[in-house]
Structure 1
Amino acid sequence: MFLFDYIVNLSIFSLLVILPLVLLSSIQFKSIKYYRIWVGIYGGIVSVILVMLSIQHLGYSYDIRYAPAILVFAYFGPVSGIITGAIMLVARLVQSGNWYPAIMGWTMIMVSFSVLHFYIKRFSLVKKCTIIVVAYVVMYTMIVFYFNILEDHPAFHVQYVSFVILGVILGGVLLESYGKLYRVHQQLSAMYKLLWDSEANYRLIAENTSDLIMVVRSDHTISYFSPSHQSVLGFKQSDLEKTVLCGFIHPEDVTMYKQTIEMMFNHKNSSTLEFRMKHSEGHWIEFESRCKPVVGENGEIEQIVIISRDISERKKAEELLLQSEKLSIVGELAAGVAHEIRNPLTTIKGFVQLNKVVGGSTQYNDLVLSELSRIEGITSELLSLGKPQAVQLTEKNVQELVENTIQILSPQALMNDVRFHLKGEEKPIIITCEQNQIKQVFLNVLKNAIEAMKDGGDINIQIRKIGDKECLLSVQDHGCGIPEELQPRLGEPFYSLKEKGTGLGLMICHKIIKQHHGSIVYKSKVQEGTTVEITLPCL
């Protein structure tokens, strides 16, 4: 009978503990004002209900009313615990007699719990609950012996204390579970807030930037268009989502765009490219796009983020700057042309006059023809420098271009006892270029190397890749070399180390290499030779 009554008490107690926890969960764990007082009152109500379910035995009432008091003290402190204890005591006194042991026992327990809380307030909840339970067992034992309560029924007291402890354990498990659930909820709420704030910040940037932001999936479809597409390109969001991106890209740029995206998915590299996109009104806008791959948890690229910026104004500014640079050297060109052409003209004039005086002799014809050839060469270089040329970029094998240039220079090399040694790589190195311009660069550099080796010798040419996106062509001669202080001036117009040079050849080389987004560097030592290193982008 006792066992059944205690089980009923424990079941009702567990239900009463769960009830407020479920209610708190349903209102999203919102904090309640003066919650310690409300907890104390509710704990007292639970104790009253447990008192009403007391087990009567030999004139004494037994129940697990102290289980909620212990839990309230351990989890919410002495304020809540004393409120619970006070309500519990009133219910006990109203229900039955024997006030003196009830009041004395209640006082001893409340005082001991309050004092213990002062010393153990920094402990974990489980430790505090354990210590208070031990204190309760000690107090209960002292009260039993002091008031001679059923001393000849020790099994009853053991059973009573055991069920109180079991009630505390059940309540503690429920409260700990709720605590873990609350902490998980708080962590999730913080994570959701952080995620929401982060998304709001990114959305603020994406929706208010003039740059175009796109996200490309692995199947090359677009998963996101920033709202700036409408303001920059004039298309509505719905129009963009229904159309393949390549439909907006200039036909001449589609292949480059597809190759770049495919290469990024295959090699996981970031990339920068320029292409034109169509405005809703029909004109084309130039964009510079920075592409960044997004790698998933499996190490594979899931998406590519493309941020594109309108560079139409920059392109116009670059063209204006180029024209300004051309105009700035007009004066220098005019002075150089006047000087360079005046010298051979003076020579021609002198020999023509001398020829007239000596009666039409032809012994000076070779000199006149030589000077006329000089004038022709100067004017040709000036035309090459100043005349705008239509550029048609094609993909070419750089080694084939060099080999073709060597064939052109073979007669001159043979006459000067010069031998070319070309060393390349097994796999072809492909560059995007205007082949005639690049051949002109190779022709000028190799011709200079031949002319620097008056006694003949070997010219070593090496072609190799640097990383994934660049190739290097080095031309090494064993000629007279260039003094270090003169090397920075190489490429200036009308600056040449050759007796009859104009300096326009190297200037044209620098211009062409710059147009191809490459670089040209000189390494030279006097009497040891010169190495010219040309770096160009490659595929």
Structure 2
Amino acid sequence: MKDGFLDKLITRLDRFSPSEVQNLVSRLVRDKGFLENVFEALKEGLFILSPEGIITFANQSVLNFFGIDQQRSIGQHINTAIRGFDWNSIASPDTVTNRDLEVFYPEHLTLNFYTSPIKGHVVEMNEHLGYVMLVRDVTESQQEAADFLESEKLNALTLLAAGVAHEIGNPLNSLDIHLQLMQRKLRKLPKGDQAKLGSLLTTAQGEIKRLDSILKQFLNAVRPTSPVKEKRQLHDILKTTLSTLEAELQSRHAQVTLNLADNLPLLNLDADQIQQALYNLIRNAAQALPASGGDLWIDTENSDYEVTLSIRDNGSGISPEHMGSLYEPYKTTKSSGTGLGLLVVRRIIREHGGEIEIQSEVNEGTTVRIHIPREERQLRLLPDNQPEIIDLELE
């Protein structure tokens, strides 16, 4: 490093005897090799940087995190090696920096890095020698924190659900009964009054049904339910769901194209719950299509481990700011939606041991994939990978 510790040390070599110089050089070489071995053994990533931000050492872990090549990275500025990195906003010779960052290549990771200045204390020289940057992969811990927060939210909603069912459900039933009584009384009135009051009565009954539907969605979203599974054919459930939605799909001028895998195995499914999940997903896709109509593609794939069902549309898509809150209750882009549909779908799929993934682009469309394992995931004893011990006898 220019004007670094070694350069200043060299200018003072005349103060040392030949034996002292030899011992110092030998120690530097030995220490360098030892430290490099230690650094390479770390699971954490490690950069050693000059005061200007030039990379002088990088272990294999940090190279893997950022997808960079060691030969080309050494001697490069860190801003060049890591695209989008802003060294000037981080580097300070007097303070320690601790920040999180998100990388998307070669893997989507959440990383935490710790940058600390290096000070020299040899032969009465105390100057800034550079920086050490320690990088840790915190993706898993971030996901665990998010899962814990989601679990806490659902627990709170579950407690609220018990009160909601009593405080809203019972009055709704009472209102419905009284409206039915009013409907009977209405038949005894003159026809002119019947038409006027009948319209108001129909509106009131419709609003009660809508409130009851919202209440049921809320309870289904938060109440823990155990699926009753039996061997079922996913294609049969899909076709039943499409039949149920046929009128709505036609009214929206949706063209549905099926590309179904041959010889799909029977899966352990709760048919009612899976139909509910598919109903929500297909209906969401249809509602995203333009008023003039659009296309829906439904595909199934079969691997040795799982069955994947994909629902793709060429509708309005989902904006990036909404992608992060897809499963949050009561957050929806629809004027009349509750925001509970996807929460219910994900709970159903996860209770079947599967997972859901969503990809979307504004004005291009959305693809939803649900992955369901072919078999129940149970405890599996891993093979013993210990090396075989061979007794060698010297002749």
Give the TM-score band, short-chain normalised: 0.3 to 0.5
Between structure 1 and structure 2, the one with the greater Rg is 1
- Greater helix share, 1 or 2? 1
Using CA pairs under 8 Å that are at least 6 residues apart, name the structure with larger relative contact order, 1 or 2.
2
TM-score, with normalisation over the residues of structure 2? 0.46
TM-score, structure 1 length as denominator?
Answer: 0.34
